[in-house]
Amino acid sequence: MCGWQNRYDIYGDGGGNMKRSIFCIAMIMAVATAGCGKAASLPEDGMKQVATPVVDTRPVTLTAAIDGISVDERLKELIVQQLQQKHPNITLQIYPSAKGTTLNELIVAGQTPDLIFTFNGNLLSYRDRDLLYDMTPLLKTHNVDMSRYDANIIGDIRIASAKDEMYALPFSLNFHALYYNKDLFDKFGVPYPQDGMNWDRTLDLTKRVTRTEGGVQYRGLDTGNGVVWIAQPLSAAAVDPIKEKASVVTEEWKTVFNLVKSIYSIPGNDRKGDAFLKDKTLAMQLQLNMLAALEKPTAEGLNWDIAQYPSYPERPNTYGNASVQAIAITKSSAYKDQAMQVIRMIASDEFQMISSRKGWMPAVNNPDIQKSFGADVPYLAGKKLSSIFKSKPVKYPVSSQFRTKAESILQANFDLFLNNALDVNTSLAKAEEEINKMIAESGK
């Protein structure tokens, strides 16, 4: 009897019932000819497996660059370890994102890597540099089941696509969440933040836990990244990417400016210091995935937990950009099938389960894998990690090339509004004028 592949692998559609006996006989003969391991099977998870293409099994070394994201050593080790078990002929050299081995430096040195670990927001820039390769044919021949992914996540990957190309495959997600210091809420007799809170409820909690006691100033809430993250759930952008013009004199940005000012105008809740992780004087922190950064503070006595990111009434259960972490095969790679084997292994349910249990948010839409998130990380025991999955990211925007500079201008003008130097309408109008001037001057 032929052996069955690991049940957490990625399987294809597998085909339907055979109605014509001659076709059945042909299929049986083909399977017999192909030998054990090529026959369709039905693993325990109920998904049919179809034969994967024959790929050269001679030893090969693939290289990978890291660009725009952090891939820590534990994840690198896990990838190499699992790859050795699944495809021992493939050696993967993952270059650190450091001086001498950045993606740009590798390209200039004539060492363009086979793979790039990156995030979806970077893909558009790769298109202009002729790095992108449409993996659609490989995804089909390697039987990758795309239905395992949330449609919104795949849509975020396709932001760089002109004709629905798949230039990368997700391997992990970033997320926004509300982290809170339980001891401070206990100290002041205030109930903990709950899932499903809107901004009004969050602002009320902020006021109740912002106070001075025993000569110590306790702050209620830090928004993490000023006005930018707070604006993302409303799909508010500083620059219209089609017109390449500022787009900040809007009701959405006015709402964001007023909301963030109401948070930081609470006496004592000004922005300063590392108050959550180090000083332990901040009650609530809005942040991306900072679970890895919480290990040491937890050991040092930080009694924290996590809640769902606050929502706007018109956008319930929605946080900001997901920043989908993905792997792309470069156009110049001479080992595209082997590179696809690496991606397929990382995208498999088996690997996603292992990495999820170790605290990396899974990319696949699998409830069992999501429920196992952080299960093997001792300092995450008892934390309400399920809260993370109750919100979905907003659709990732097609960003202007001027986005970063425009957001800096916008933040600077918000600070003028926060300090009462300008009213909200004037600060937004000033920001719009300065952004358009910056864009115009960049073309000279």
**Greatest pairwise CA separation for the chain in angstroms:** 87
Which residues, at least 6 apart from 58, have a Cβ–Cβ distance to it below 8 Å? 89
Chosen CATH of 177-321+398-443 out of 3.90.209.20, 3.40.190.10, 3.40.50.970, 3.40.50.2300 = 3.40.190.10
CA–CA separation, 299 and 416 (whole Å): 40
Q: Do 156 and 235 contact (CB within 8 A), yes or no? A: no
Residue with tokens 């993905």: 326
Cβ partners under 8 Å of residue 367, min gap 6: none
Hey, what amino acid is at 88? P
Give pLDDT tens digits along the chain (444 positions).
333 233 223 323 333 433 333 333 333 333 333 333 333 333 433 334 455 677 888 999 999 999 999 898 999 999 999 999 999 999 999 999 999 999 999 999 999 999 999 999 899 889 888 999 999 999 999 999 999 999 889 998 998 888 899 999 999 999 999 999 999 999 999 999 999 999 999 999 999 999 999 999 999 999 998 899 999 999 999 999 889 999 999 999 999 999 999 999 999 998 776 799 999 999 999 999 999 999 999 999 999 999 999 999 999 999 998 789 999 999 999 999 999 999 999 999 999 999 999 999 999 999 999 999 999 999 999 999 999 999 999 888 777 889 999 999 999 999 999 999 999 999 999 999 999 999 999 875
> Which pLDDT belongs to residue 211?
96
Burial of 381 (0-12, 13-18, 19+ CB in 10 A): exposed
Instruction: Give domain 60-174+322-365's CATH superfamily.
Output: Periplasmic binding protein-like II (3.40.190.10)
Domain ranges of the chain: 60-174+322-365, 177-321+398-443
For residue 27 the two structure tokens come to 């299929």
Query: CA-to-CA distance for 301 and 205, rounded, in angstroms?
Result: 23
Of 312, 221, 308, the residue nearest 263 (C-alpha): 221
Contact assessment for residue 284 and residue 366, using Cβ atoms and an 8 Å cutoff: no
The answer to whether the Cα torsion of 331, 54, 91, 66 is positive or negative is: positive
Q: Is the fold of 60-174+322-365 the same as that of 177-321+398-443?
A: yes
